[in-house]
Structure 1
């Protein structure tokens, strides 16, 4: 076991040690948040219809593909546990199973383009918004293979805790995303003005740049081919179906969670364009607080996975405690910002001289208060759900999501709208849902059932 520990457990699980792995992931998630923030900002300044369509169309696209996002991303847990168990030759094979799932997801998303226009038509949005929703969705759906393959290959580095590479690629994607979106949305530098479609196209092309870097590193470097078998043992049906067993609940959980949130967004849009635009703005801002904590949650999952692979549960628990402390510090800062300085984060979204936007900005200030109310619940949910999933406890999180996301959130929100209740009842429901969900994830972690789980086979020498 000491040999296994020496491969990766070079820290003591303190906050500083966790940050060595987490900081690149935090910055990487922040890059993603910057991409979404600037895309939303550019579209908001371009037109009200584009801003509204990007939220509904983009969230619908991600909701439909997020089963595969969760399934593909779970390859990182297999990589982490194989790495912790000192079985490097199995690492490359695990990544390949994620690649196969990525292609399956791309085929599914292409088929969704056939029926999704009927869904948007049923929402009774304005004709202009509906048209933009369809365009935005089509581009993202057909280009999702780029995002899924990028995620599959990134697991090779993130699962081993080599997160600097993930950060480098994220920075590259951001540096490509900003000018490409600006050029395609507004028609600058000789590019055609494409508006909403340009935002999607620029995002896809930027992600393609990141995919190329990952592909070169994974396939071309001899060191990786020899040590981790990145080009050998590509097909392993036993591992594929074992990964499917654990990753399917993970993907289903993500899909159910996002689909319930999509229902919430759709119901909000029924309250009028002002509410829809305000929601688009505040959720774009929310990503600035949510995405960095995703990096902390991913770190918790990585470290738990590696420790479970090495049979070192005390180290896993200490790392999770450190991740939680970092989350509390960050969320406190975000809460202060949203409560006391809302205009600071709202100012970039304001269209100068557009009096019709004043109501949306007023509503956005109130919505930020609701977000501030559930920030800590969001953080608890991310830290502890990722921690138990890092060990293989994916079914519980899926069942909890079914009950909470739909029984306690999406369906009640629909009922509230049908009863004619003000929009703030829905926001109150969202805050309560996130806080309770976070507490229940904490309770599952405290039960200790995850400490007896593992997704990989035992090492032959064990």
Structure 2
């Protein structure tokens, strides 16, 4: 097509008539299955907490610290593995499908080796538990629960690698399917392994851990079966790309490890926060555990939205289109803020409805001590949730571009001075649980401000995690009029 002077007119983008790139439709189409996936996991954790509350207050008090001990190292490993999502997204944007299978294999190698080694942490965690001031019964249950959860590490890491392949390419419904299979397995096992053992709290805690491990294993097997389908073997080298690639493995760790360290540092900080709250009192510890369980209803769905932002930012960075990355991030921040406002209102207006499932399972004297604390703590959650939505979206956007080192430095530099140390001071001086939760609120709000300043600074715009190439300028964007006709035709085809 030419104008009156014979000059070729650039073709309109194929998607222009359907949706705006970086807009609500594009983000929600990709992120909605990820939000559902995160929500299902939230529901499963919530159900487990309810079942454990039927076992007793000791089981509830032990659950959160034990999960914290597990989460801290698994966060380092799993988020290193799952950063493969950004590599896959950027390779997809750069139209280099031959590199996708090999990078997934590097993630699998890392996950299998570290997952098999994970149980060696049991003696270390038992030592840490012995050093706390928790009741002896709570310590025993913490140790049992952690030991059972270690069996979930290996399959969780395998799931992270397989999900990275599908999420990074935009097949988020497949991610939902893989996670749903595991969640349903976990849910089916939770009742017989927890509730039917409630007369024996030790066996009930073991059952909760084993249910999670089996559910993760089922997801891992299912995900691998999908990964090695014929069409993926042909296009993305998911089978032939099995060889260990030292430069690619090193590059994955270069960007992925800071991502894992950031989650690990924050996980360690929140675990320390919970342990220090436990030094204030057992009722305070149980109340904090139940409040964080309710907080997951807010946190994890926005995490799903953030994952969608990360994938789209990664894809646009691979295409060298940072302006679209910025538009996607702004869209995600608006959606997250709107969602958080609704959730914060629910926390403040109807806390009794949220706590009712726990009240029915505890003994009256236990609930009399724990129940009144939760509405107070939910007000703190409501306050920091408004900032946390922006916090999550911006962190995922920066990671999608490759700015993982900065995100990690923020976690290291702020979490302990602003949250953990003030909570330790509060526990030592008898200032009460409100002082501890105020420090957590200040930390989360400050982090959101720091990420906003970094994002607006724009350094991320020139970042990529994949190795650079020097293609012919006409091949850089297949929609340009100077590109070969065959390339323009390919560019007009809808994505698979």
Query: Secondary structure of the equivalent of 2:372?
Result: helix
1:149 aligns with 2:163: no
Q: Which runs of at least 4 in structure 1 moved beyond 4 Å after TM superposition? A: none
Query: SS state of the match for residue 13, structure 1?
Result: coil
> How far did 1:17 drift?
1.9
Distance 1:372 1:10 in 2: 34
The equivalent of 1:361 in structure 2 is 371
The residue number in structure 2 matching 1:37 is 46
Is residue 2:80 matched to residue 1:59? no
Residue 80 of structure 1 deviates from its aligned partner by 0.6
Q: Deviations over 1:274-298 (max 9, x none)?
A: 1111111110000000000001111
CA distance in 2, matches of 1:186, 1:419: 39
Deviation at 1:193, TM superposition (A): 9.1
User: Which stretch shifts more, 344-353 or 290-299?
Assistant: 344-353
> 1:420: which partner in 2?
430
Aligned position for 1:225: 233
Deviation at 1:236, TM superposition (A): 1.0
Secondary structure of 1:195 counterpart: helix
State whether residues 380 and 438 of structure 1, in contact with CA within 8 Å, keep that contact through their aligned partners in structure 2: yes
Query: How far, CA to CA, are the matches of 2:414 and 2:98 in structure 1?
Result: 40
1:92 aligned to 82, 86, 101, which one?
101
Counterpart contact for 1:183–1:193, Cα < 8 Å: no
Distance in 2 between the 1:131 and 1:56 partners?
12
- What's the C-alpha RMSD, in Å, of the aligned pairs? 2.0
Consecutive unaligned residues of structure 1, counting only runs of 5 or more, are none
Matched, 1:461 2:465: no
Q: What stretches of structure 2 of length at least 5 have no aligned partner?
A: 1-9, 473-496
Determine the structure 1 residue equivalent to 2:330: 321
The C-alpha deviation readout for 1:391-438, integer Å capped at 9, x for no partner, is 110111111111111122112221222223222111111111101101
Q: Does 1:179 align with 2:188?
A: yes
Q: Pick from 440, 445, 452: which aligns with 1:430?
A: 440
Q: What secondary structure sits across from 1:105 in the alignment?
A: helix
User: TM-score under structure 1 normalisation?
Assistant: 0.95
The residue aligned with 1:260 is: 269
The alpha carbon displacement at 1:356 in A equals 2.3
1:400 counterpart residue number: 410
Deviations, residues 330-354 of structure 1 (Å, cap 9, x unaligned):
1011011000011111111113562
Cα distance in 2 for residues equivalent to 1:83 and 1:404: 35
- The DSSP-based 3-state class of the residue aligned with 2:371 is helix
Task: Specify the SS of the correspondent of 2:21.
Answer: coil
Match of 1:278 in 2: 287
When Rg is computed on C-alpha atoms for both structures, the one with the higher figure is 2
- The counterpart of 1:452, out of the listed 428, 441, 462, is 462
Provide the residue aligned with 1:204 in structure 2.
213
- Is 1:74 aligned to residue 83 of structure 2? yes
Q: 1:16 aligns with which of 19, 25, 44?
A: 25
What CA distance in whole angstroms lies between the structure 1 residues aligned with 2:20 and 2:145?
A: 45
TM-superposition CA deviations, 1:238-294 (whole Å, max 9, x none) = 100011111111111111111011110001111111111111111000000000000
Shift of 1:355: 2.9
Task: Supply the distance in 2 between the matched residues of 1:183 and 1:26 (Cα, whole angstroms).
Answer: 28
| Whole-Å separation in 2 of the counterparts to 1:186 and 1:194 | 10
Structure 1 residues 122-141: aligned runs within 5 Å: 122-141=131-150
Shift of 1:187: 2.9
SS at match of 1:270: helix
C-alpha contact (below 8 Å) 1:43/1:51 kept by paired residues:
yes
CA distance in 1, matches of 2:364, 2:105: 51
Tell me, in whole angstroms, the C-alpha distance in 2 between the residues paired with 1:458 and 1:211: 32
Instruction: Name which of structure 1's ranges 409-418 and 27-36 shifts more when overlaid on structure 2.
Output: 409-418
Deviations 1:161-199 (A, max 9, x none): 1100111122222222212011111238xxx99311101
Q: CA deviation at 1:41?
A: 0.9
